[in-house]
Amino acid sequence: MVLFVLAAYFVYGMVTWNVVISFTDWKGAIPSYNFVGLSNYSAVIKSDLFGRSLLNTFILFSAIPLCLAAGLFLAFLLNQRVKGIKIFTIIFLLPFAFSLVVTGVIWSWMFQPDGAINSLLRSIRLGFFARDWISSSAILASVLIPIIWQFSGYSALVLLAGLKSVPRKEIEKARKKGMNWWQIFWKVEFPRLRIPLLSCAVVIFVFVLKASFDLLWTMARGYPPGSYYTLPILVYVEAYQKMNVAYGAVIGNILVGIVLAIVLPYVWFSYRGHR
């Protein structure tokens, strides 16, 4: 019970503390708890960098459907009954074990103007695709690639379990009716993937939020803030680096609000589904 309280305190206690701070005028190293109402909130919402970071965060969320689509493709491949398929499962999941900092460092090198990606594109005569992947105007789109590289193996594993749960009998039956593999996939297998897809999307949402700090903080160091700041980065910079404690708390709360708005309906839905 003590342990439960400890864990709950370090999660919910901190969130509550943030809420309290967000209504005060705390700025700098010395705590200050003068109540200032909602003025911090209005200041944050009016600031350009906040709007930009919010937009950037939502741009990164496009990685979620991309990871799911890539994962679905991989799961479909891995569900084929050919020899040695397990090796491929292990390879696809490998990047998931990597630290996001390592991913960031490696892909920074891949993305260099004379780096591996451009060299590869030129050598297969796709040189016109070569570009400055890591420039400040491209980084936000480029970073989607390492995110997919890192997390699609995870969604493949989860969706593969979903595909495997489809009874063989139903597939045989569909085959006898003369359906081709695409119809079987779409009409028999896909409907059973709805719940794994949903839960996978929520988990990847959490991963992407983590990546939106770790990965961009590693890869975009020194770039103009507007080009890569996301909400987690903005919280870190305001609350911890610049000591604009109250502002940081406000942005943190807004981020918690966004997470709750997405996760709570899901938890509620799946809780009711279990009963």
Among 109, 129, 186, 269, binds other proteins (CB under 8 A): 109
Site size for other proteins (CB under 8 A)? 83
Q: Which residues between 138 and 167 bind other proteins (CB under 8 A)? A: 149, 153-154, 157-158, 161
Among 54, 63, 67, 74, binds other proteins (CB under 8 A): 74
Site membership for other proteins, residue 126 (CB under 8 A): no
Site membership for other proteins, residue 10 (CB under 8 A): yes
> Which range binds other proteins by CB under 8 A, 43-51, 92-100, 133-141, 166-174?
92-100
Q: Which is nearer to other proteins, 99 or 137 (CB)?
A: 99
Among 30, 46, 90, 272, binds other proteins (CB under 8 A): 90
Among 21, 44, 75, 193, binds other proteins (CB under 8 A): 21
Site membership for other proteins, residue 6 (CB under 8 A): yes
Q: Dump the DSSP string for the chain.
A: -HHHHHHHIIIIIHHHHHHHHHTB---SSS----B-TTHHHHHHHH-HHHHHHHHHHHHHTTHHHHHHHHHHHHHHHHTS--TTHHHHHHHHHGGGGS-HHHHHHHHHHHTSTTSHHHHHHHHTT-GGG---TTSTTTHHHHTHHHHHHHHHHHHHHHHHHHHHTS-HHHHHHHHHTT--HHHIIIIIIGGGGHHHHHHHHHHHHHHHHHHHHHHHHHHSTTS-HHHH--HHHHHIIIIIIS--HHHHHHHHHHHHHHHHHHHHHHHHHHHHHH-
Site membership for other proteins, residue 56 (CB under 8 A): no
Q: Which residues between 210 and 239 bind other proteins (CB under 8 A)? A: 210, 213-214, 217-218, 221, 232-233, 235-236, 239
Q: Which residues between 176 and 195 bind other proteins (CB under 8 A)? A: none
Among 203, 223, 226, 227, binds other proteins (CB under 8 A): 203
